[in-house]
Chains A and B, each alone.
Chain A
Amino acid sequence: MPVFAKLTLTEIKLFLREPISAFFVLFFPTLLVVILGSIPSFREPQADLGGARVIDLYVGIAVALTLAMVAIQVTPAVLATYRERGVLRRLATTPVSPLKLLGAQLAMFGLAAIASTALVLAVGRLAFDVRLADNFPAFVLAFLLTAAGTLAIGIFVAAVVPSGKAGNSVGTILFFPLMFFAGLWTPREVMPEVLQRIADFTPLGAGERALNEAMTGSWPSLLSATVLLGYVAVFGFAAVRSFRWS
């Protein structure tokens, strides 16, 4: 087996051995969809949502939630712990570059996010008849943009925190306001105008908007795409500049 595949497989095993975070990443977004979808009024078309149902919105929000948990909560904690414990330092003495381990981690997180998203979409469709519009490539694009924007932030946090514990704390502190703007508590569509405009410029607000746009059949708006690519550029650059291996 190529080294990269073996590293990725090892990372997947390690991820599954942390049952709480694995549960949250893989199943919590789906659980949220199931719970909200069980409320009868959330399955009725709403005039103030432009005829959409609440559950239609929450499938997109659940996908954003998946990416937020993976990129903002789990990534900084795991990467910073690897550095703190000298896992990266040990790897640097072998023929395998520590970059490969980072790559394997991102691959593993990507697979976990895709699995969780697939489950959200499948349950949303089968149980609550939430359909993706025909433009699947647009959804993939929105997913990738949101994943890249949030991961850049997560890796930057991992680069600057002193320890795994600090990575975990900073990730959690960022998670709640970012998810607020993604509409986890109040969907963006019913937020006051001012909050909506602010949300457009937050990574998960822009991400949720792009996902929502894709789910209703259009391509991610230029605004959402630009905001997300901006996060990739700024935080990606800062992360590369400040990342320490030991």
Chain B
Amino acid sequence: MTVIEVRNLRKAYGDTLAVRDVSFTVEAGEIFGILGPNGAGKTTTVECVSGLRRPDAGVIRVLDRDPDDRSLRSDVGVQLQESGLPDKLTVREALELYASFYAEPADWRALTRELGLGEKLSTSYVKLSGGQKQRLSIALALIGSPRIAILDELTTGLDPQARRDTWDLIESVRASGVTIVLVTHFMEEAERLCDRLAVIDRGEVVALDTPAGLIAGMDSEQRIRFRPSAPIDDVLLLARPEVRQVTHHGSQLEVVGTGNLLHAVTSVLAVNEIIAADLRIEQASLDDAFVQLTGRFGKE
């Protein structure tokens, strides 16, 4: 079942075209990632889906309703960047207040336990660390027991442990049947969590696939690095069809090629009775796929 449909979305701010042409659908129960470099139009896209901005053109349907439909607000939980709380409001007050907005709220005590905020209930918002504010923000997005959760830059500002805990939480939220739309520019997160990904660049969807599909789809090269126990003539390696390029980095040798590259290299070494020390194989990652798709690096 399709829960979100976006067709030919277009949105400009003055002369700046933030979203040129974005289309995708999100199916019930999946974790759908929106990946892209900064300024690609990710946030604008989810703001339009959340009903906070009106598109200039295109069609958006959320649970078969228009995003403007206020009845959607209790079905869609949103965690946005640049949304805060009053400084002197405590964590408990924020949770109780926001829980009172919904007819069937989630158990906020359980949420705070899962998000590691249980100790911070009487702390005021201004005294929370960046990561704690972020976790409170996630809790507030989930407090209405939404059918869809839209999470923008979910783990920005979290330390690695909190980030992994948050990923676990997201997986358990999905396991309870919630559809999740995740905006991120963080590859590891996208690769770990998302069932499908839309890669957005310069306001357009440049790819839409599973993380594995995106990686497999690129004309990927492998890269093998090792330290040979004795000097070896490059020509011997380059004679193999799998090998495209051999470069020397001090005592290290780097071989770039395609196909069953590892087998090709090790058999040449075996024939010449050379042992490879410190052998490392670099395979394409989502990062590489992303760079190839957008011509830019994901991580700043």
Contact = CB atoms under 8 A, between A and B. Distances in A.
B102 interface: yes
B52 interface: yes
A243 B73 CA distance: 22
B16 interface: no
B101 A93 contact: no
A96 interface: yes
B50 interface: yes
Contact of A10 (B50, B73, B82, B93): B93
Contacts of A87: 83-86
A90 B101 contact: no
Given A82-B86, A94-B73, A10 B52 contact: no
A82 B102 CA distance: 22
A90 B140 contact: yes
Contacts of B73: 93-95
A18 interface: yes
Contacts of B84: 85-87, 90
Interface residues of A, number: 22
A131 B219 CA distance: 90
Report which residue of A13, A17, A86, A95 has the largest number of chain B beta carbons within 10 angstroms of its beta carbon.
A95
Contacts of B86: 14, 82, 85, 87
A89 B52 contact: yes
Contact of A92 (B52, B74, B88): B52
A3 interface: yes
A118 B101 CA distance: 33
A77 interface: no
A6 B100 contact: yes
Contacts of A35: none
Contacts of A14: 86, 88-89
A194 interface: no
Contact of A89 (B82, B93, B101): B82
Contacts of A3: 100-101
A113 B230 CA distance: 88
Interface string B66-85: 00001001101110101111
Given A86-B80, A89-B52, A89-B80, A95 B101 contact: yes
A20 interface: no
Nearest to B73: A95
A126 interface: no
29 contacts: A3-B101, A10-B93, A13-B88, A14-B89, A17-B88, A17-B124, A85-B85, A86-B83, A87-B83, A87-B85, A89-B52, A89-B80, A89-B83, A90-B80, A90-B83, A90-B84, A90-B137, A90-B140, A93-B50, A93-B52, A93-B73, A93-B76, A93-B77, A94-B98, A94-B101, A94-B102, A95-B74, A97-B70, A246-B52
Given A14-B89, A93-B141, 10 more contacts: A6-B97, A13-B88, A18-B88, A85-B84, A86-B84, A87-B85, A89-B52, A89-B83, A93-B73, A95-B102
Interface of B: 50-52, 70, 73-74, 76-78, 80, 82-86, 88-89, 93, 97-98, 100-102, 124, 137, 140-141, 144
